[in-house]
Structure formats: structure tokens, C-alpha cells
Amino acid sequence: MSEHDDQHLPGPSLWPIGFAIGVACILVGLVISVPALIVGAVIALVFGFLWVREAFVSHPVTAAAPGMPDVAPAATVADVDQNVDRATFLSLATIGVSGLIGAGVTLPVLGFGVLPSFMGEGVETHDVDLGPISNFPEGQYVIATYLESPEQGEVSRRTAFIRNNGRTDAGVPSFTTIFSRCVHLGCPVQPNGPIDESAKKDVNGVELRPVLAASFGCPCHGGLYDSEGNRNAGPPVRSLDRYEFSIKNGNLVLGRLFSVGSVEGVGASARIMKYYKAYPGVHVDGIERWLYPIPTPGSRG
């Protein structure tokens, strides 16, 4: 082969840049929104396919120098083809191994960091019958203390703040059913108002005490909530958790706990931002939900 022979290699490709942009969109989508994740996945697939396709079909061409025959010797062409095949194989192998290593390192981290945002605390609760709804005067809070699992004894004692809101515009009974654990670290929340101990009653093992609660406070770290359970001050990251409830045979029955981002309005007209039951200290809405998804140690109350 003449010293004037020249081998023209393929020019720089834009497909790897597009693939990298797609991967970046996927990572951003995992934090921000599902649509961004989908767009990133489409971009990465398209540019990844074009990148691999280019690696398979592109071959360097040997051009003859001026005045030399256009056809290179057979041995030289075979050597070039052999080098192209080896280079293509090594490129694809490098991409594949790098992808596997990246997935092995990234997916567990993303799972640990993101999945808790989509998974609740998973605490098992039992329906609790608080007795006739006539025990709950309309417009007034009642402190209800009960054993969630009588077979477990005192360790299952729970407290709820119950207010009868009357009926909604649709004629359905409405109750505010607030759990008594602070959503900062799970300390017991106290009602800020006088408790009528003289009106205390026991209904089938459920202790009921009327209270004039204008707000709720946590004595541990100064968390303060308004009468609807919204955070007003202190370190709590969301509103107080609530119970689902139902009316069965004229009795008020508490069901599963759920977390609340915020409450708009009051009483029967309140609009509750309801989420899965999350650990104390865990955000359930806003950008913080994605930035701080890991459960923090706290009481399950």
C-alpha cells in the first residue's frame, strides 16, 4: 500500500449526545414528573437505536492516492474489514457493559430514594366503634381514647380528636377525625383549650371527653396546628393525620389512618388533600416530597 494512501474515518456522531440528553431527561423525570420521564425514555431509545445502527453500518473507506488504482489489494481490504468488525464489537461491548454497570449502580439508589414517595407506611389498623353519633355534639371537639387492639392491651391505646360537623350540602354526616400524633416525630399532640372532665363518659371501653379546642399543640418541639389540623408553626412538615370514618347502625366507626397535605376550608365544607399514611417527618406534597422521600425515624403511634 502506498504511503500516499489515506483512510477516511467517519465524522463525529451526534447520536451519543442525543442519547445522553434522553438519559438526563429520564433522571429529571424521576424527580419532577412522569411526562418528563416518558419524553426522556423516548429520546434515549430513538437516539440509542440510531447510535447502534450507525455503529453497525458505517465502515471506513480506503481511498487511493492520485494516479494510483482505485481498488486496494485484497489483503489490505480484508485487514480493514477485520479491524472494522473488531472495533464495532468492542464499541458495542463497551456500551453494553457500561449500561449494565450504570443500571446496577443507579437503580438501587433510585429505588431507595424514590419509591418511599409512592409507598405508604403500611401500618395495619382496625375499625373502631366509638358509639352513637349522639355522643358527639355538633360543632364541638371530643377527645376519644380507646384500645385499637384490645388483645394487645395498653400498647395499642390511641387518641383521636373528633368533631361533629353536622351534614354536608348533600345531606351526608360530616366528622373531623384527627389523629393525636404530631407529624414531626410522633409525639402526643394536646388540644389547646379547656377539657370538660365532668362530662367524661365511657362507651363500650371508649373514653369520651368534650374539649373546647381552638388549636392543637405539640409540647415536645413546639409544633402548632389550627383547629382543622393545618400546621401553623414549628417543625412539622404537614397537617395532622386523619382517620377514615363511616356511620354504621348510627355509630361512628373509625377506619384507616391517612396523611393530609393541607385542609382548605372548615368543617363540613373543608377540602382535604388526602394522601397515603406516611411516617412522621415525611412530606406528602410539593417539591419536598421528591427531594426528601426517605422515611425518618419516628413513632408509629
The model's pLDDT over 216-267, given as tens digits with 9 standing for 90+, comes to 999 999 899 999 999 999 999 899 999 999 999 889 999 999 999 999 988 8
Grid cell at residue 119: 409507598
Q: What percent of the chain has pLDDT over 90?
A: 26
Higher pLDDT, 140 or 84: 140
Residues 148 and 277 grouped into a single domain: yes
- Rounded Cα distance between 14 and 20, Å, is 10
The whole-number pLDDT of residue 35 equals: 75
Q: Is 297 part of any domain? A: no
For 136-155, what is each residue's pLDDT tens digit? Answer: 999 999 999 988 777 777 78
Q: Tell me whether residue 145 is exposed, middle or buried, using C-beta atoms within 10 angstroms of its C-beta: 0 to 12, 13 to 18, 19 or more.
A: middle
- 39 and 158 both lie in a single domain: no
Average pLDDT of every residue of the chain: 77
Based on the fold, state whether residues 155 and 256 are members of the same structural domain.
yes
Range 36-48 average pLDDT: 81
Residue 32: which domain range?
Answer: 6-117
Domain boundary among 117, 138, 154: 117
pLDDT of residue 15: 75
Top pLDDT among 82 and 147 is at: 147
Residues 106, 111: Cα–Cα separation, whole Å: 9
At 301 the pLDDT is: 37
122 lies in a domain?
no
Give pLDDT tens digits for 163-209. Answer: 999 988 888 889 999 999 999 988 999 999 899 888 888 888 889 99
Same domain flag for 142 and 277? yes
Domain for residue 1, yes or no?
A: no
Q: Which three cell numbers stand for residue 16?
A: 451519543
Whether the model pTM is above 0.85: no
Q: Is the same domain home to 77 and 193? A: no
- Of 26-35, 56-65, 174-183, 244-253, where does mean pLDDT reach its minimum? 56-65
143 and 264: one domain? Answer: yes
> Is the pLDDT reported for residue 296 higher than 80?
no
- 55 has a pLDDT exceeding 80: no
* 81, 209: one domain: no
Q: Which of 67, 85, 117 is the last residue of a domain?
A: 117
Please report which confidence band the pLDDT of residue 277 belongs to, taking 50, 70 and 90 as the band edges.
confident
Q: How many domains does the chain have?
A: 2
Does the structure show a pLDDT above 90 at 13?
no
The dihedral sign for the CA sequence 248, 249, 250, 252: negative
Most confident of 3-12, 31-40, 101-110, 227-236: 227-236
